[in-house]
Chain A
Amino acid sequence: MSIRKQLAVMIWPVAAAAMMVAGSAGAQDKEEIVIGASVPMTGPFAFAGIQFNRGINDYVEWVNSQGGIRGRQVRYIGEDTGYDADQSVAVFRRITSSEDVTFYFGDSTAFQQSIEPELERRDILMTGASFASEINNPEEYPMQFLLGPDYGEQVGILLEYIADENPGASVAFIHSDTEFGRDPIEGGKKMAEDLGLEVATTIVTPPGSADVSAAALELRRARPDYAIMHGYVLSPIPAFIEQARQMRLDTRFMGTIYTMEQGIIDQMGETAEGFLGVMPYRYYYDENADEAPLLQTIREMHDEYQATTYTQGWVAGILMQRIAEHTLDAGRELNGTNMRKSIEEMENIDTGGLIGKKFSFSGNSIPVGRIYRADVSEGRMVPVSDWIELD
């Protein structure tokens, strides 16, 4: 046990007793900071929700062992929603009615959209699993920020990489027919044209579609140099790539954040070779971990690989911490409105290296990402670009 932790253990009972004596008014300063969360631990998004939940739990344990945020302990309460917006709201109500929540984590675009007015009333700052372009709008969603580039910006980063590597190349968009899948497509097409890229075709797959061989034929007819796939977790990406190989297409396939999980290599094997994608966080095995003290902390806590959605939990935690510190240092009370100001003021935000570059928020998002390539022989994602920041 570190000295700090020992101190904390000794001091806390005393502090708690003092608080009880002093009453609620005097205790305001040293109150706990509560992070609430509606987490999808079941349902179609559970793969991410479970990891996120672990990540933020570990973060909270770590930050408390470090003495908390400016001396205030942090407590995390996350509950399952089954990725159902009704239940996300129910969890929100349940947690906020018994706790004085400062930060909240939301699990879906639908929930994050519908809870915004309530956040404003309660003055709670929120982040979430959604990277919807819609939410990246400080006017409409002042109480929220994103944990990376929005989907549109992710596609933007990919397109910039393409324009840089292969000017004038042709690009296809392949997306699922869902809110998630459709999000960046219109913007992406426009941006591709602005960058002088040719949009070869746009292929829509219905949600849960099993066999994409007809759509793969469509891809062959368009023969794009690159294909950006969005709105999927795993299926049908492997099927598309396999069939493109069999048809001797040299299209390079690209994905966005939720497809860039290590699992894509583990699950796809050989087929994953050369898959490109954008990721705003460092992978567990990042080679420059010396630049990322928090990544080292994660590695000390866990010997085995940790998913990027796990890292996302840490990023959520550390960003909330930075925003809270900035607000407290400015002598302001810790509430949503003041933290919004902090988001606008803060520069060179340091996430302990989990995001590879220091940044300032642009709107509600963090327009930073890096292009990685799946290297099957090494069994990991290797960076092929530097950290890209969109302006």
Chain B
Amino acid sequence: MRIGSPKETYAADEALFRTRTQWAWFGVLLAALAGFPFVANLYWLYLVCLVSINVIAVTGLNVLTGYTGQVSLGQAAFMGVGAYTVAWLENHTGSPFPVNLLAGSVVATGVGLIAGLPSLRVKGLYLAIATIAASFILLFIFKNWESVTNGTRGIGIEPPSAFGVALENPDTFYWLVVPVTVVMLLLASNLFRTRIGRAFIAIRDRDISASVLGIDLPRYKLMSFGISAFYAGMAGGLYAYFFGSINPESFPLLMSIFLLAAVIVGGMGSMLGSILGGIFMTLVPELLRYGIDFLGLFMENASAVLSPVRTVVFGLLIVGFLLFEPLGLAEIWRRIRRFFHLWPFRT
């Protein structure tokens, strides 16, 4: 049982990792991530890469929705902006992939700022609907700006290569996407130790009081949109490299809903929540697949009969978490941790 962790300075109190144990666990996590490719097969590596991409996008959305309180259903469309930028640069300029990824994120940020303009005028649900509109308009551009996006046929992207190795398979791509995710997560975590991050939280908790406290609402709201879109752009760029081809239908509204669902299931306003939500929601369909496999032992044609069940489960997860665990998986995690901290005493 842990008694407490005394701190002597403010800096120590707001540090990302406050105790030595946390540092140790972080080290263990990094070691595990570094070792994973040597033990896992390509299927699991594929899933980890997909999870990482989703975690980046979910983290961005969590900054906007979970921390700043602005609901957005446009995250997938911003991913599309990043993806198309990367594809265009890769095919037209041949610039190195880190440049392309950054450029994709920056362009997505710009688009996100424009799409965030309605947030100066409306909030809450109206804003969610404005972002739906923005994503349909972006979709229209993806479909019809033929010279850049190649229309509905989509574009192919060559895999990036680093140190002469083409990162074309999950086992190599892993070394790009996982470090990027770790860095993006650390950046986002640190954001909330700064003035900007705290301004976001103040806006979420009560925008008018925040304004009274001297927080420039338009500026910080737009900044939040921009940061969120930056993450989406990065995720989209990685997505483009990872799948090697994109088309307008790669970024449907359903994907935005999926990402928002991941924020809710994981835990709004929690970095741990972004991670857990991204992991959980990406893996649920896969876990259900194993469930269906298992039932297939007892019934014929199980996959055809049971597949719609996955759609139902997806919906029930959203509803269930909102009704019974509004703070998401992050809260469940915290509860478990508290249990072990206080063991053998009860909370």
Do A and B interact directly, with beta carbons closer than 8 Å?
yes
Binding site for B on A (CB under 8 A): 41-42, 46, 50, 53-54, 78-80, 82, 85-87, 89-91, 93-94, 96-98, 109-110, 113-114, 116-118, 121, 134, 177-179, 182-183
For this complex, 29 residue pairs linking A to B, each with C-beta atoms less than 8 Å apart, are A41-B304, A80-B289, A85-B243, A85-B250, A87-B285, A89-B46, A90-B47, A90-B285, A90-B286, A93-B46, A93-B47, A93-B170, A94-B43, A96-B43, A97-B41, A97-B43, A98-B41, A110-B154, A110-B250, A113-B154, A113-B245, A114-B244, A114-B245, A117-B168, A118-B169, A177-B143, A179-B154, A182-B152, A183-B153
Which secondary structure characterizes the binding site on chain A? helix
Report which residue of B151, B292, B304 has the largest number of chain A beta carbons within 10 angstroms of its beta carbon.
B304
A150–B143 Cα distance when bound, in Å, is 21
Known: A42-B308, A113-B156. A179 touches B249 (CB 8 A): yes
State the Cβ distance, A337 to closest chain B Cβ, in Å: 18
Contact A80 B307 (CB under 8 A): yes
Cβ of B41: which chain A residues have Cβ within 8 Å of it? Answer: 97-98
A118–B310 Cα distance when bound, in Å, is 27
Nearest B residue to A186 via CB reads B151
Nearest A residue to B168 via CB reads A117
Q: Give 18 A-B pairs besides A110-B249, A179-B152, A183-B152 with Cβ atoms closer than 8 angstroms.
A: A41-B304, A42-B307, A42-B310, A46-B307, A54-B304, A80-B303, A90-B46, A90-B285, A93-B170, A96-B42, A98-B43, A110-B154, A114-B245, A118-B169, A121-B169, A178-B152, A179-B249, A182-B152
Contact A82 B307 (CB under 8 A): yes
Cβ of A93: which chain B residues have Cβ within 8 Å of it? Answer: 42-43, 46-47, 170
Contact-residue bracket for chain B = 35 or more
Contact A110 B245 (CB under 8 A): yes
A183–B247 Cα distance when bound, in Å, is 13
Check: B50 CB closer than 8 A to any chain A CB: yes
- Give B118-157 interface residues, CB cut-off 8 Å to A: 143, 151-154, 156
Known: A42-B311, A113-B156. A90 touches B50 (CB 8 A): yes
User: Would you list the 4 A-B pairs with minimal beta carbon distance, nearest first?
Assistant: A97-B43, A179-B152, A93-B46, A80-B307
Check: B248 CB closer than 8 A to any chain A CB: yes
Check: B159 CB closer than 8 A to any chain A CB: yes
Known: A97-B42, A113-B245, A114-B243. A79 touches B153 (CB 8 A): no
State the Cβ distance, A142 to closest chain B Cβ, in Å: 14
Binding site for A on B (CB under 8 A): 41-44, 46-47, 50, 143, 151-154, 156, 159, 168-170, 243-245, 247-250, 285-286, 289, 292, 301, 303-304, 307-308, 310-311
Which secondary structure characterizes the binding site on chain B? helix
Cβ of B249: which chain A residues have Cβ within 8 Å of it? Answer: 110, 178-179
Known: A93-B43, A110-B249. A82 touches B243 (CB 8 A): no
Nearest B residue to A39 via CB reads B303
State the Cβ distance, B42 to closest chain A Cβ, in Å: 5
Contact A179 B153 (CB under 8 A): yes
Cβ of B307: which chain A residues have Cβ within 8 Å of it? Answer: 41-42, 46, 80, 82
A98–B46 Cα distance when bound, in Å, is 13
State the Cβ distance, B256 to closest chain A Cβ, in Å: 14
Contact B159 A117 (CB under 8 A): yes
Cβ of A98: which chain B residues have Cβ within 8 Å of it? Answer: 41, 43
Nearest B residue to A178 via CB reads B152
A108–B96 Cα distance when bound, in Å, is 30
Nearest B residue to A40 via CB reads B307
Cβ of B301: which chain A residues have Cβ within 8 Å of it? Answer: 54
A54–B304 Cα distance when bound, in Å, is 9
State the Cβ distance, B303 to closest chain A Cβ, in Å: 6
Cβ of A85: which chain B residues have Cβ within 8 Å of it? Answer: 243, 250
Cβ of A121: which chain B residues have Cβ within 8 Å of it? Answer: 168-169
State the Cβ distance, A175 to closest chain B Cβ, in Å: 11
A46–B307 Cα distance when bound, in Å, is 10
State the Cβ distance, A75 to closest chain B Cβ, in Å: 14
Known: A42-B311, A117-B159. A79 touches B289 (CB 8 A): yes
Nearest B residue to A41 via CB reads B307
Contact A86 B50 (CB under 8 A): yes
Nearest A residue to B240 via CB reads A114
Nearest B residue to A91 via CB reads B289
Cβ of A118: which chain B residues have Cβ within 8 Å of it? Answer: 168-169
Cβ of B250: which chain A residues have Cβ within 8 Å of it? Answer: 85, 110
State the Cβ distance, A184 to closest chain B Cβ, in Å: 12
Cβ of B43: which chain A residues have Cβ within 8 Å of it? Answer: 90, 93-94, 96-98
Nearest A residue to B285 via CB reads A87
CB < 8 Å: which of B153, B248, B308 contacts A134?
B153
Cβ of B169: which chain A residues have Cβ within 8 Å of it? Answer: 118, 121
A35–B53 Cα distance when bound, in Å, is 30
Contact A79 B168 (CB under 8 A): no
State the Cβ distance, B239 to closest chain A Cβ, in Å: 9
Contact A89 B289 (CB under 8 A): no
Cβ of B286: which chain A residues have Cβ within 8 Å of it? Answer: 90, 94
